[in-house]
Structure formats: C-alpha cells, structure tokens
Chains A and B, each alone.
Chain A
Amino acid sequence: MGTIGKRVYEALFLMDTAMAAADWDGTLKVIETVLSRGEAEILSIRKWDERKLAYDIDGKGRGTYILVYFRMDTQKVTVVERAIWLSEKIMRVMILRTDRMTQADMDRPTPIVLAETMPAGVDGVPAGIAPSAPSAPMAPMAPAAPSPN
C-alpha cells in the first residue's frame, strides 16, 4: 500500500446555530468524535463565524462555522467523510489538503475575530452584501423554518 503517511487538513464544519449556542462544548464534541474515527490529531479548533447562510439548508437560515486543522493518515479520510455523512448534526463540511496553503493562509483571522476587533460599521461580514440581499424576498418562505430558532 502506498504509505503517504500523514497530512495536515483543513476542515470547515457548518453546524446548527441553535445547537452551537445552546451547547458549545457538545458541538465541538460532535466534531471531535467524527475526527477521532480517523485518529486525527487536532491542531486547532475554533469558531470561524456565525452568519446568515446564502441559501437555506435543512430549513435553517443561519449557521455556525467551525474551522479545524488536523493531522491525519491520508488513508483515513474516507472513513471520516463517511462518519460525517452519517451525522445529522453536521450540515455541511469542506475538507481540504493544506499543501498549497501558506502558514499565513491558515493563521488568517476569522471574520468573527475581525468583527470583534473592528468598530461595528466596517466589518466585512455584512459587506458581503450579496447573500443578505435576497433575504427580503425570501422572507415569506421563512415561516416554515424559524421554529428551530
């Protein structure tokens, strides 16, 4: 078998905001459990942002993003991906290899940190504009969704 060994991966998890707000440690635990299936060594795990989604997923209009860096055996990725698919608490995930990224890419401050350090008006998050714009016309569709909130 090809022994490529271990690699560092970046994963962005999209979790339910209501769950993350109610039980932050439990939310992290979900992610840690899934990664433990691949015997991953977690290098860092932090909240990336809590924001409005560009489109509704599972009837939810908001989501909490959690950014994780971990080192794992390359052979275990499929195992972890399968565990993620089976987890109903994880709405979306993006796992990427980090070989093309620089340390600066990985250390870049998260939007939530930027929002805290910068005065209210300037933060780039609402400036993303495009995603927030459709919210108004979509509002009538919302009533089905808000119950989880």
Chain B
Amino acid sequence: MTLLRHTDAEVRERSALTINPAKTCQPIGAMYAALGLHRCLPHSHGSQGCCSYHRSQLTRHYKEPVFAATSSFTEGSSVFGGQANLLQAINTIFTVYDPDIIAVHTTCLSETIGDDVKQIVSKAIADGKVPDGKTVFHASTPSYQGSHVVGFASMVKAMVDTFAVPSETRGRSVNLIPGWVEPADMRELKRLAEVLGVPITLFPDTSGVLDAPMHGPATMFPSGGTTRDQLRGTGAALGSLGLGPSASAPATVALEQLCKVPGQVLELPLGLRATDRFIQAMQHLTGCRIPDAITEERGRLVDLMCDMQQYFYNRSVALWGDPDQLVSLTEFCLDLGLKPRYVITGTPGKTWEKRMQAAIAGRHEVRYQQGACADMFLLHQWIKQKPVDLLIGGTHGKYIARDEDIPLVRHGFPIIDRIGHQYFPTVGYRGAIRLAEQILNALMDRQDRLSPEESFELVM
C-alpha cells in the first residue's frame, strides 16, 4: 500500500492547482521573526484561525511556547475594517501581557480589506493606548504574494525601518542578519563572531526564546531576543552582513538606504564554501585576524569530508524547502560528491535561478523549479520518472520517503515529527559536520537494512 497512491510519473500541465505545497503563507514568517525580539509579542491582524495555525505550526516545530495575539476578526470587522479590533487588541495586550513591543503583521483578510495598519497604530498612540516606553510596529504580509520566507524578510526589514537610528559615525559593530535559521544556528553565528573577535548585533535572534531552558518558574518572555537598544544601534554599525538573500536582503538594503550602513548579502553559511565566504566577508569588513581555532574547525570538516567522500560519490539527491537553504545545500552536496538531481521551492523570486546556477557552477545537471505549482507533488513525479538515493527537506517528505523507500534527512522548516533538531546548528563548519554525518547515517542505515546477509558488514 502506498500513501501517495494517486501520484504517477506522468506530469500533466497544471497552471491553477498546487498539490502538496513546498511553501506556506507570509504571516508565519513574520511571526517567527518577531519572536526573535526581546519581550516582543507578535500580533496577527486578521481572523483567529491564521494566528492559531501559525502558532500551532511553529510549536510543532520548536516544541516550545509560541505566544502571539490576534485581532479576532468577525464578519463585522471584515465589512467595516479592523481598526476597532486592533485598537482594542493593543490596549488588551499591554494591560494583560505587558510586552515591550507588539509586532503586528497583516493577513490575507486585513490586506484584502485594505486596513491601514500604520494609521491605526498612530491612532493608538494618539489615544494613549501605547504606554510610554513601549513600541508597536508592523509589517505588511499579504499571503497572496511570495511565501513564508517573504513574510520573514518583511518583518526583519520592518525592524530596521522602525528602530534603526541613522548616525554620522560608524562604530565597530557588525549587523549580522541571520535569515530564517534555527535558534541553534543563531547561537552558532554568535559564537563564530566571538571567536573572530567581532562585536555583532544579531537580529532577529530566537536563541533563548525558542530554545528557552526549563528551570522552575516560567516567564512569558524569556531572556533571549534582540533588544530595542541593540536595534537602534544598527544604524551606527560598521557594516551589515545579510545571510541568505531571500530572507535577509530587504533588511540589509534598508539599513544602507536609511542609515548608510554598507551592506553585503551572502548565501547562508551552510556547508564548507558558504562558511568560508562568511568568514572572509567578516574579515574584509572588520579587518579581523582569522584565529587558528577557526582554521582548525574548518580543517576538521575537510578531514571528515575526505573520510566520507567514498560513500557520497555520485549518489543522487532531491531537495525541497526554502530558497536560501537550497542554494547553499546544493553547493555543499556537490562538494561532498553527491549529485543533486531535483530541487524544488514554492517560494517565488527573481534571482534564485541565477543563484542556483552559481552554486552548481556547471558541475552537474540539476532540474530545479520555483514558484507556482513547484510543489512536492511535482517533485514526487520527477522521482517516479527517475529515482534518487536521498531526500533532504522538511517533514512532509516522509510520505515520499516511505512510498519510494528513499532515506530522508530532515532539514529546514518544518520538522514536526522529530525532537531535538532545534538544538543542533547546521550553519558554520560545525554545522556542516553535523549535516554530513546525518546524510551519511541515512545512507548507511538503509544499506544495513537492505544488504544481504553475506555482505552485511561490521566495519563500514
């Protein structure tokens, strides 16, 4: 019996129907980004269901409390607009939950109605609904454009628009915009900067929020998250590094335009060469010396790649997920000796194809597609036409993995059927070591399971 029994190899032209999407809607990205601010409560301006869905999905991935409020639209608000709802929400939230920041994002409903959130927030301030010293800001995140990645990027850009203070002088600190990565990745980026001796402001920063410890009394707002003061200081930074163009370019560009902070956008430091570029970019920007500790970390990764390469050579891979992750993963797979065969993302974007080409660098023929109808149904059909040895992507791929008996390495968002991923970084050299280990284990576990008795090996 197969779980995806209606999927066959024959690809029929589709222009209007998405089947098993490789993306979701903007607001969830905005919510995740906003959780990376200290004492911030994300607020969903729309129907209750959006907020409930986003909180549920983030919770399933992180196994952590995910707080967010909603404007709880009813039929009346959808006719007359959501101003009254948002005003009341702001008042209720500050009275009951006392965050420092409310980060409002819109939904397809409030966008379709055309609510002017900026004006409503101004009215809330004028009406005295925003206590002194508190902030309400917003990002527009219509779910009928882009994807969850775009929503994330827009919220991060709104942080710059709201908080960054332009400055005549440049400080020593670097703005590091991590993109949509795990709390553990953010922690790892901070560690790398520390080893390099570079002071940074990382934003958003969900470490300490979505991997908060359990130690007795709980608080609604844990200790993590970028503070408003830190954000204000981003306008006086030496420069900005945006990691992952899809998630981090808008904020990087905004800092340049608003505060003249010179910015560079890199691919996510997933894998060896992307991490190399990140380290070098830090060096170019700050003139820091690259300490031996970093060179040794890198060396350990290269050593491991060398040990593993015989198992990876020419094994084919299918990948799906978010554009920033996919570019760097494709490059890393090729560096490991793997052959990415298919790559799919539902997120649209103009530059992705070019970036993929740069990552592939003519080394192998890769079939990739993005945007409308680039979904996991299509990916599965391709696999049916010509199978692969390995799958890399989020949990939804487990149905393909089971039907086709292909090992799956879970990576990206969402991972909702395993626990612990949020504690292990995949960025940087250390992250790459973990990734390579996961890939090898997946391949070898399958070999162990299927090899005939006579060739079942003790030593591999």
Query: Does A associate with B in a complex?
Result: no
Residues of B in contact with A (beta carbons under 8 Å apart): none
Residues of A in contact with B (beta carbons under 8 Å apart): none
